[in-house]
Structure 1
Amino acid sequence: MNDRPAGTAGVGRADVGDRPVQARAHATAATAGRYALVPAPRLSLHAVARRSGLHPDLVRRFVALGLVDAERDAAGHLVFAPTAPAVLARVQRLRSGLCLNYASIGLVLDLLDRISLLEAALRGRGTRSEPPPWT
């Protein structure tokens, strides 16, 4: 039996057994971009500085050096992702723990991100790298 109102049979839906399935959902998911229904939370410069314990001018300097990503809002103010304080804490740990200058910290951060991606790819495949040969 069909529980739909008259005149709506097959409009944007296809029935598979007893489950209604969106007819175009699969096709549009592959071709359409993803749009957030709710804007992603952003942190202001002062909020990031307060959460990371750094002066706002130092945070601006880190943005200029490319150590932390930031965007500009409609008013031209810097806005950051919620992960920015964690990135700044990582920068500070590298600076104090390894006595690196800020230019080399950028390189180390890029290498650490690359290592994380490669390790995730290995975990995703479920395989480990080949053991070294005996000879």
Structure 2
Amino acid sequence: MKPLKAHMRHQWVKHLRDEIEKANLSEGKFTLRPPSRFELVEWVNEAWENIPRKTIIKGFTKCKIISTMPTSVEVPESTVEPAERFVDDGAAETNLVLETLLQYDESNLDVIAMREDEDEINLHCDE
């Protein structure tokens, strides 16, 4: 949470400075304009994008949302084809997160297929 809050605080201070600068350029009375919902969503989105993946996983592990992440995944040779013997750690982490969510009976969770060139987990939850 600390990196997320730090980024949000940085964005808030930047917003305040921008508002003060705009007020200094105008001749009217200073009125602080609050950030729009769109701006706030952008701040949160930027914060999440700037937090390293390992930091997010460590936070989820610390809060016991997911179990401890394995450093590597061993796959028995007899269960996979030779071309599939090497497992990407990112895919293993994704599978572990999804398995953990399923253990918590998240029935409204849809997993959208991830392309090999993507580095994000796309989840969709119906509310």
Higher helix share: 2
TM > 0.5: no
Higher strand share: 1
TM-score interval w.r.t. the shorter chain? under 0.3
Which protein shows a greater Rg? 1
TM-score, normalised to structure 1's length? 0.24
